[in-house]
Amino acid sequence: MKQHDSGRRRFIGYAALLALAPLAAKDVLAQAKAPAGALPKLPLDNAQAKALNYVESTKGLAHKTFKAGSDCSNCMFFKGAAGQAYGPCTLFPQNSVAAKGWCSAWAKKV
Ligand code: SF4
Protein backbone atom coordinates (compact mmCIF):
# COMPACT_ATOMS: atom_id res chain seq x y z
CA MET A 1 0.00 0.00 0.00
CA LYS A 2 2.86 2.36 0.85
CA GLN A 3 4.53 1.60 -2.50
CA HIS A 4 1.26 2.41 -4.24
CA ASP A 5 1.09 5.91 -2.61
CA SER A 6 4.71 6.60 -3.45
CA GLY A 7 4.13 5.68 -7.10
CA ARG A 8 1.06 7.88 -7.27
CA ARG A 9 2.96 10.84 -5.76
CA ARG A 10 5.76 10.35 -8.28
CA PHE A 11 3.21 10.23 -11.13
CA ILE A 12 1.58 13.47 -9.91
CA GLY A 13 5.01 15.13 -9.68
CA TYR A 14 5.87 14.12 -13.26
CA ALA A 15 2.46 15.27 -14.49
CA ALA A 16 2.97 18.68 -12.84
CA LEU A 17 6.41 19.02 -14.47
CA LEU A 18 4.96 18.10 -17.87
CA ALA A 19 2.16 20.65 -17.40
CA LEU A 20 4.68 23.44 -16.60
CA ALA A 21 7.11 22.58 -19.42
CA PRO A 22 5.27 24.58 -22.13
CA LEU A 23 5.27 27.67 -19.89
CA ALA A 24 9.02 27.41 -19.30
CA ALA A 25 9.63 26.87 -23.02
CA LYS A 26 7.49 29.95 -23.80
CA ASP A 27 9.67 32.09 -21.48
CA VAL A 28 12.83 30.79 -23.10
CA LEU A 29 11.45 31.55 -26.58
CA ALA A 30 10.36 35.05 -25.54
CA GLN A 31 13.84 35.80 -24.24
CA ALA A 32 15.39 34.39 -27.39
CA LYS A 33 13.23 36.71 -29.54
CA ALA A 34 14.21 39.84 -27.57
CA PRO A 35 16.82 41.93 -29.33
CA ALA A 36 20.33 41.42 -28.07
CA GLY A 37 21.09 43.79 -25.24
CA ALA A 38 17.42 44.63 -24.62
CA LEU A 39 16.90 45.76 -21.07
CA PRO A 40 13.82 44.92 -19.00
CA LYS A 41 11.31 47.74 -18.70
CA LEU A 42 11.74 49.93 -15.67
CA PRO A 43 9.20 48.76 -13.07
CA LEU A 44 7.06 51.57 -11.70
CA ASP A 45 7.69 50.27 -8.18
CA ASN A 46 11.48 50.60 -8.57
CA ALA A 47 12.66 52.75 -5.62
CA GLN A 48 14.62 55.20 -7.80
CA ALA A 49 11.78 55.40 -10.33
CA LYS A 50 9.36 56.24 -7.53
CA ALA A 51 11.75 58.82 -6.07
CA LEU A 52 11.97 60.50 -9.49
CA ASN A 53 8.22 60.23 -10.14
CA TYR A 54 8.79 58.15 -13.29
CA VAL A 55 5.72 57.51 -15.44
CA GLU A 56 5.39 55.53 -18.67
CA SER A 57 3.21 58.18 -20.29
CA THR A 58 2.98 61.93 -19.87
CA LYS A 59 -0.72 61.85 -20.75
CA GLY A 60 -2.54 63.70 -17.97
CA LEU A 61 0.68 64.22 -16.01
CA ALA A 62 0.35 67.07 -13.51
CA HIS A 63 3.77 67.11 -11.82
CA LYS A 64 4.87 70.63 -10.84
CA THR A 65 8.14 70.45 -12.84
CA PHE A 66 6.64 68.79 -15.92
CA LYS A 67 6.71 70.95 -19.05
CA ALA A 68 4.31 70.06 -21.85
CA GLY A 69 6.12 68.35 -24.70
CA SER A 70 8.89 66.95 -22.55
CA ASP A 71 9.28 63.19 -22.39
CA CYS A 72 12.05 60.61 -22.30
CA SER A 73 12.56 60.73 -26.07
CA ASN A 74 13.75 64.34 -25.88
CA CYS A 75 15.65 64.00 -22.60
CA MET A 76 19.45 64.18 -22.65
CA PHE A 77 19.63 60.96 -20.61
CA PHE A 78 17.62 58.89 -23.12
CA LYS A 79 19.86 56.72 -25.30
CA GLY A 80 17.22 54.98 -27.39
CA ALA A 81 17.02 55.30 -31.16
CA ALA A 82 14.45 57.63 -32.72
CA GLY A 83 11.07 55.92 -32.99
CA GLN A 84 11.99 53.27 -30.42
CA ALA A 85 9.17 52.76 -27.86
CA TYR A 86 11.60 51.91 -25.07
CA GLY A 87 15.27 52.64 -24.71
CA PRO A 88 18.13 52.89 -22.29
CA CYS A 89 18.41 55.79 -19.87
CA THR A 90 21.66 56.81 -18.22
CA LEU A 91 19.92 57.15 -14.86
CA PHE A 92 18.49 53.61 -14.96
CA PRO A 93 21.29 51.47 -16.42
CA GLN A 94 19.59 48.17 -15.54
CA ASN A 95 16.33 48.97 -17.36
CA SER A 96 14.79 50.59 -20.39
CA VAL A 97 12.38 53.51 -20.10
CA ALA A 98 9.38 54.45 -22.23
CA ALA A 99 10.10 57.01 -24.95
CA LYS A 100 6.76 58.63 -24.02
CA GLY A 101 7.63 58.42 -20.33
CA TRP A 102 9.01 61.08 -18.06
CA CYS A 103 10.66 61.58 -14.68
CA SER A 104 11.58 64.63 -12.62
CA ALA A 105 15.23 64.37 -13.70
CA TRP A 106 14.23 65.26 -17.28
CA ALA A 107 16.73 67.60 -18.95
CA LYS A 108 16.36 68.88 -22.51
CA LYS A 109 18.43 67.04 -25.09
CA VAL A 110 20.78 69.45 -26.88
FE1 SF4 B 1 13.19 59.60 -19.00
FE2 SF4 B 1 15.13 61.40 -18.84
FE3 SF4 B 1 13.96 60.52 -16.62
FE4 SF4 B 1 15.58 58.91 -18.02
S5 SF4 B 1 16.16 60.81 -16.94
S6 SF4 B 1 13.58 58.40 -17.16
S7 SF4 B 1 15.15 59.56 -20.11
S8 SF4 B 1 13.00 61.73 -18.27
Q: Which atom of ligand 1 has the smallest separation from the CA of 90? A: 4
DSSP state of 93: E
| Mutate which of 48, 52, 67, 75 for ligand 1 pocket (most atoms within 8 A of beta carbon) | 75
Provide the residue count of the chain.
110
pLDDT of res. 15: 46
Q: Which residue ranges of the chain lie beneath pLDDT 70?
A: 1-37
The pLDDT of residue 34 is 47
Question: Residue 102 to residues 8, 9, 43, 72: CA-CA distances in angstroms?
Answer: 55, 52, 13, 5
For 15-62, give the DSSP string: HHHHHHHHHHHHHHHHHHHSPTTPPPBPPTT-HHHHHTT-BS--TT--
Report the pLDDT value the prediction gives residue 55, as an integer from 0 to 100: 98
pLDDT confidence of residue 6:
61
Locate the ligand 1 atom nearest the alpha carbon of residue 49 and give its number.
Answer: 6
pLDDT of residue 28: 40
- Given this model, what pLDDT does residue 16 score? 43
DSSP state, residue 85: S
CB 58 within 8 A of CB 66: yes
pLDDT value, residue 70: 98
Kindly compute the dihedral angle of the four CA atoms of residues 82, 84, 86, 88, in this order, to the nearest 10 degrees. -40
